[in-house]
Amino acid sequence: MVALLPLSASHTMKHPPLVNMLRELIALPSISATSEKWDMGNQAVIEQLANWLRPLGFEVRVMPLATPGKANLIASYGSGSGGLVLAGHSDTVPYDDARWQSDPFALSDRDNRFYGLGTADMKGFFALVIEAVSSLLSHDFKAPLIILATADEESSMDGARALVQSDISGARYAVVGEPTGLKPIRAHKGILMEGITITGRSGHSSNPLLGNSALEAMHEVIGELLNLRGELQEKYHHPGFAVPTPTMNLGCIHGGDNPNRICGQCELHFDIRAIPGMDTDEVRQRIQQHLSPIAERRKINIGLRSLIGGVDAFEQPADSELVKVAEQLTGQSADVVNFATEAPFFQQLGLQTIVMGPGSIDQAHQPDEFIAHDQIQPTVTLIQNLVTRFCLAPPASTEGRVTPSAE
């Protein structure tokens, strides 16, 4: 365990009490969704975080996205190399008001839990980060600490995609604070969400020659997709996952308008959960290869499109420094999970990356989302130890550097 540096109370930086920060973040709606009915901006959350971090001495950059009202936040403290990124998303999923026992946007403290939309997934993480790091800021930072909040993780991941084009100077390590019960996660599956639209020709059902059935073509398309699923599951296998092969789910289908009309259009939405080692672009090419012969044979238009930009599978080597430090600090072995996060985008920036944060994924996307009281102090302590290890202590790792050998 890495010991924290002593710090007198008089040196502790000021910020709102933890519960107040939780309450204010939960009260700011920041729903992200593929449906226009639900989708909204996260600007208010980003501005609130900036208002808390600037007085603590952080250099804050707000990165507007192409969609109005949406932005990322990059807050840096200290300089040098080998620093730590504490990252998360500032948006939440939609909610079912009828199934909540309390107002999703009003923090409720009951049963030794804090309830509210985003407590675990994952606006609560930012309040805990500020609570944890504020007592360390008067120390000499030998490497930068970067707090990063993104937009649209719950839909397009456009916030994380925009970060790949940015410069996170001095960082070498990243912890994505998704709810894992403070267990380090070093690998997860990727995701593709695709849509297939078949445009045929409608006509009177009494004479099939008058039309070209999109629904019958879709029946054949589904057969080919299931064949592809079998091919992918035969080729790719990762024993670390509870479901060790890629999966394909045919999620929803819409087509036709009346029993006595030949179906003129049919649409199918499906997802594929990829395991490490799979290339999402290659998977899309294989889908197209299965669809093209059907279109040619039936003389029908079959269109394939991505519903969201794909998220690559993620894997951080088990022997990397960050994984080993996280295992040491938590006393838990790093694990793998099936859900997807923004971790692959931080790897694209060249950072050692893990996923680790308070709360349970079982509470994410559920009514009465909460973070338990007994997760609060362990999270604060863990964050402080990570910052102490990677930002306050002298850099010890030479991983990734080429050093001349003695000959």
Among this protein's residues, is 368 annotated catalytic? no
Structure-block tokens of residue 307: 């519903």
DSSP code, position 31: B
284 in Cβ contact with 307 (< 8 Å): no
Amino acid at 129: V
Catalytic entry in 24, 39, 121, 153 = 153
CA–CA distance, 105 with 121 (Å, rounded to integer): 14
290 in Cβ contact with 262 (< 8 Å): no
CA–CA distance, 395 with 144 (Å, rounded to integer): 11
Handedness of CA 360, 364, 368, 370 (dihedral sign): positive
Handedness of CA 174, 179, 180, 181 (dihedral sign): positive
CA–CA distance, 145 with 401 (Å, rounded to integer): 21
262 in Cβ contact with 203 (< 8 Å): yes
Strand 352-355, strand 113-115: pairing? unpaired
Among this protein's residues, is 91 annotated catalytic? yes
Catalytic entry in 24, 39, 91, 315 = 91
CA–CA distance, 133 with 224 (Å, rounded to integer): 53
Strand 265-274, strand 247-255: pairing? antiparallel
268 in Cβ contact with 195 (< 8 Å): yes
How is 272-323 classified by DSSP, letter by letter?
EEEPTT--HHHHHHHHHHHHHHHHHHHT-EEEEEEEEEEE--EE--TTSHHH
Q: Coil, helix or strand for 388?
A: helix
CA–CA distance, 225 with 179 (Å, rounded to integer): 33
Q: How many CB atoms are closer than 10 A to CB 19?
A: 14
* Exposure of 67 in the CB half-sphere (CA atoms within 13 A): 20
Cα-Cα-Cα-Cα torsion 277, 242, 367, 377, nearest 10 degrees, comes to -90
Q: Which residues are catalytic?
A: 91, 153
